[in-house]
A and B are shown apart, each in its own frame.
Chain A
Amino acid sequence: MSSPAIPMPGSIGRSPDPDVAPPAAVEDILATAQALRWEVGQEFHERLVEAMYTEAARLGDRAVTRPGTEPRFDLDRSIDRVVTSRRWGFPIMILLLALVFWLTIAGANVPSAMLANLLLDQAHPALKGLAAGIGMPSWLSGFLFDGVYLATAWVIAVMLPPMAIFFPLFTLLEDFGYLPRVAFNMDKLFQRAGAHGKQALTMTMGWGCNAAGVVATRIIDSPRERLIAIITNNFSLCNGRWPTQILIASLFIGPLAGTSWLAGAISAAAVVVVALLGVLLMFAVSYLLSRTVLRGEVSSFSLELPPYRPPRILQTLYTSLIDRTLIVLWRAVVFAAPAGALIWLFANIHVGGDSLAGHLVNLLNPFGLLLGLNGVILAAYLFAIPANEIVVPTVLMLTVLTSGLVGQGVGAGVMFDADAAGVLTILKGGGWTLLTGVNLMLFSLIHNPCSTTIYTIWKETKSVKWTTVASLLPVAMGFGVTFVVAQVWRLVAGG
């Protein structure tokens, strides 16, 4: 197969203008061309394009001189041989991710506490006092400061510090050049699940924030594989859900161990198990989607592994704070403020002797118990659609409100937090068992994405259908999983 001589590019694939009637001579030429079309062979276009590229490369090679002929990036290759080796590739990956999480969780504790102290313990009473001072009616100050302000402040206090740590760390790894190696290492697994290797990156990004993870799926070219990545991103346990997991694990799972140092390890392990279960579900759902409703197109996989380079720390800090942290935080605030208002109204509007929230909890309670949860948890998840951060405070408030515990809480519709012992007392008072704790951890992993993420999914896909699927599929799965766990648990435990 010899490559053909290069014809003039203008003569390729251009058909005659249909509006102009061709004169006889042109018609002859067209007829000849038509006859020749069958003879030039099937792969004419492919061969032509290849010849053009080859010629371009030849011209380029003639004009450009390169120092040396053998591969040069020696340090890069040495790093690559380690981070993609059979023995060390996966352990290094897991270690680095664990380090990022540890830095995020441990590092966020102090600033989170400071922000909570400032916004919740100092500013909130001050605002209430100010309102009382200028004679604002109590319903208005309750609505504005207990409802709108408190929920917003809560989201900022819980969400901002971990995101401000996680995203820059993640961006540093990206900037250094390590993340493409993660995609390289993991591609086989994703390939088996019918997904794209770059989904490894959007998945890890989802551990910071699902909305950011959904935006990150833009790096996947094929629409089908991108949709799979978007729908399954919710199974990455996001920053907003880590605190719930850690709290519940340390309250309900840790104490099973007995000794205190073991308790810490066991509750940490429980959280890791939940996060890994999320990864497993991500693969399982990707597999099912790519073989059923999203069957079809496969995109070509070509991944450039860029040379390593020292990360530009300041620029990274700036872009990750502006592009990722602040945008996501802003969206969360926009959604949290109305949610706070709604929670306050539901707790304070009384119909027929009980608050709306009370009615809602009673309505959801039978279903909640069937799932090994309770009405309070389901109601809290309804209220917390805007931001998963407010699940625990809402649960505490609703539990106090509906179970009539005396001496706890700070008023209807006012979210609050307590130390671990206080939380445990309230929850036990609300009838919680070990099963409730376990199922809450499961449901926290497998439920609908928060409204910020749903909105982002819609913005990215512009499809009502897929946004609905992405929102409802996980919550249906969550109901299924908690239901089965609850029934099996009761069967085994005899409760």
Chain B
Amino acid sequence: MTSPLVLLGGTAAVILGLGLLFWPRLGLLARLRGARDYARRVRTEDTLKHLFSLEIDGRRPTLQSVAGALGASPDAVAGLMTELADSGLVDLAQGRISLSPRGRDYAIRVVRAHRLWERHLAERTGYAEVDWHRIAEREEHRLTPEAADALAQSLGNPAYDPHGDPIPTASGELAITGGLSLSSLGPGDRARIVHMEDEPAVIYSQLVAEGLHPGMVLNVLETDGDRTRFWAGGEEHVLAPLLSNHVTVAVLQPEADLPEPGIPLTQLAQGQGATIVGLSPGIRGAERRRLLDLGFLPGTRLFAELRSPSGDPTAYIVRDTLIALRADQARHIRVQP
């Protein structure tokens, strides 16, 4: 005969265990199901986004391309496509995969959430540029259309994301952007960067490391077969075609649009004075306004006064105040010595 205490305790433990498993919304099973639902939604939305981006580019999606985009097997994708066709998001007529009008609306909503979130990250947070896409990939599935509208309003209804992609409006309109690949330019051409592709991350992070940003004006110096040598942001850059293919530019009139003059502030020697000619488009949002607040304005005279004994930061005299900046901020300020 076991003691009543053990029986009572055992029963309580069993009830507790069952509760943990089956409790609605909070139990283990409900959570697993929630996670599965979420995973399915992510897969659906990623598929629609892929189909939409191919549609914009005028290319035709295949099971293989979808499988590649999702990182899934073609067999699994085949099942997914049937599911999506059943729910009216995808059209499978005549053996072609295409978006139904409802599917297109859905895709545009996800794209809008993604690009708005990237804009938010760029304007309001200190996340590194290479992290924006990854975080937005996650948040696009969580942002409801209402939250996206509120976000857009608080950001001042931006038209473009920080990579230069247009943000669809709340009613689903999307500007079609043109432009040439940087690799197609010839020597002497002058152009403005309008878009930098953020996928794959490896290539994008190399472009960011070069200090390139949408909005920069560049001057092509030389093209020798596979490499493009150009002048932008006060520095010379050389890009391999793998990289320059990911940069879209709008060609400018060489005589009308002069490139930004000056050199990055980081190249100023200690004790040297210079006049600010502009802030690079690469520094934006709160960080940019902080610099403006401190008085780093075009036309302002400054002196590189002190360098930290460890090499960075450097202190500059601006408007009779001594302000220390790290090199990764100072490189966004262009000056004319």
Contacts and interface: CB of A to CB of B under 8 A. Distances in A.
Interface stretch (B2-10, B23-31, B81-89, B303-311): B303-311
Contacts of A37: 157, 159
A481 B308 CA distance: 34
Contacts of B288: 46, 49
A490 interface: no
B292 A185 contact: no
Contacts of A84: 306-309, 315
Contact of B324 (A42, A43, A303): A303
B326 interface: yes
Interface stretch (A121-129, A152-160, A291-299, A368-376): A291-299
Interface string B61-101: 00000000000000000000000000000000000000000
B305 A77 contact: yes
A184 B153 contact: no
A34 interface: yes
Nearest to A225: B126
Interface in A66-113: 66, 71-72, 76-77, 80-81, 84-86, 89-90
A53 B281 CA distance: 16
Given A38-B159, A54-B299, A49 B322 contact: no
A302 B306 contact: no
A44 B173 CA distance: 20
Given A38-B175, A50-B297, A54-B299, A45 B156 contact: yes
Contacts of A58: 299
A32 interface: no
B300 A57 contact: yes
B313 interface: yes
B42 interface: no
B320 interface: yes
Given A42-B164, A50-B279, A90-B309, A184 B324 contact: yes
Given A43-B281, A46-B281, A297-B127, A71 B317 contact: yes
A449 interface: no
Contacts of A89: 308-309
A296 B173 CA distance: 33
Contact of B308 (A3, A184, A296): A184
B105 interface: no
Contacts of B310: 185-189
B292 A50 contact: yes
A42 B192 CA distance: 11
B126 A298 contact: yes
A111 B113 CA distance: 65
B308 A188 contact: yes
Contact of B217 (A1, A186, A222, A296): A1
Given A184-B306, A187-B313, A13 B156 contact: yes
B175 A301 contact: no
A15 interface: yes
A300 interface: yes
A34 B171 CA distance: 11
Given A187-B324, A298-B126, A304-B322, A13 B157 contact: yes
Nearest to B193: A42
Contacts of A189: 310
Contacts, number: 142
A162 interface: no
B295 A301 contact: no
Contact of B291 (A43, A296, A302): A302
Contact of A80 (B153, B156, B306, B312): B306
B1 interface: no
A57 B295 contact: yes
A302 B325 contact: yes
Contacts of A197: 313
A54 B128 contact: no
A169 to B, nearest CB: 23
A305 interface: yes
A42 B194 contact: yes
A65 to B, nearest CB: 13
Interface string A297-332: 111111111110000000000000000000000000
A209 to B, nearest CB: 27
B75 to A, nearest CB: 36
A118 B326 CA distance: 53
Contact of A53 (B127, B297, B303): B297
Contacts of A42: 159-160, 164, 194, 214-215, 281
B236 interface: no
B222 interface: no
Interface string A16-56: 00000000000000000010011011111110011001100
A12 interface: yes
Contacts of A66: 320
A300 B289 contact: no
Interface string B277-304: 0110100101111111011011110010
B275 to A, nearest CB: 13
A185 B324 contact: no
Nearest to A87: B309
A306 B307 CA distance: 16
A225 B99 CA distance: 45
B299 A298 contact: no
A72 B325 CA distance: 21
B166 interface: yes
Contacts of B287: 300
Given A45-B158, A84-B315, 4 more contacts: A3-B298, A71-B320, A76-B322, A187-B313
28 contacts: A1-B278, A13-B156, A13-B157, A42-B281, A44-B159, A50-B279, A53-B297, A57-B297, A71-B320, A85-B309, A89-B309, A90-B309, A184-B306, A185-B310, A188-B311, A197-B313, A297-B125, A297-B126, A300-B290, A300-B329, A301-B324, A301-B326, A302-B323, A302-B324, A302-B325, A305-B306, A306-B322, A307-B322
Interface of B: 125-128, 131, 153, 156-160, 164, 166, 169, 173, 175, 194, 214-215, 217, 257-258, 260, 278-279, 281, 284, 286-292, 294-295, 297-300, 303, 305-313, 315, 317, 320-326, 329
Q: Which 3 pairs of residues, A with B, have the shortest CB-CB distance? A: A13-B156, A188-B310, A89-B309
